[in-house]
Amino acid sequence: MDNLQVARCFSILDGRSRSYVLEACRPLQLTYSEYVLLLRLFDCEGASQEDLSRALQTDKSAVARTLKLLEQKGFICREKDAEDRRIKRIRLTEYGRMQHPFLLSVMNSWVNYLIDTLSPQDVSCVERNFRILAERSSKADFRELIGKTAR
């Protein structure tokens, strides 16, 4: 396997996906990070900042910055947890909820475009293998891997 070519393909796919989302979400003035966080929030409204950070597998400070921007733009609001006042629960505003169909259509349009020329069997294979790769990457111990890197 040509690892450099695989890395290049992942990079192109990631970059083009981000560019598509940015262009499609321009009317809402959403960044890619805001888009991803909103999609996750549709599935777990009422989550805490820490819950979202864990679900997105990103650091809490990045989530905090993104939430602040989404709050300023009117997509979300933060409410103190009824049982633990230190925790803020993230809720969609009515405006934020209204964007759900559009934001899903952005993702669906892009994925449908990408898989348009693939057979149903190939689509299933890509989906299955992407899931496997994502799960494996989430379990990676970076320090251990870096230690194995030839110098």
d(CA 112, CA 17): 12
Q: Which domains does the chain have, with CATH numbers?
A: 3-117 (1.10.10.10)
Q: For residues 37 and 67, is the Cβ–Cβ distance under 8 A? A: yes
pLDDT, tens digit, 9 for 90 and up, residues 65-110:
999 999 999 999 999 988 888 889 999 999 999 999 999 999 999 9
| SS3 assignment, position 78 | strand
The pLDDT of residue 81: 83
What's 134's DSSP letter? H
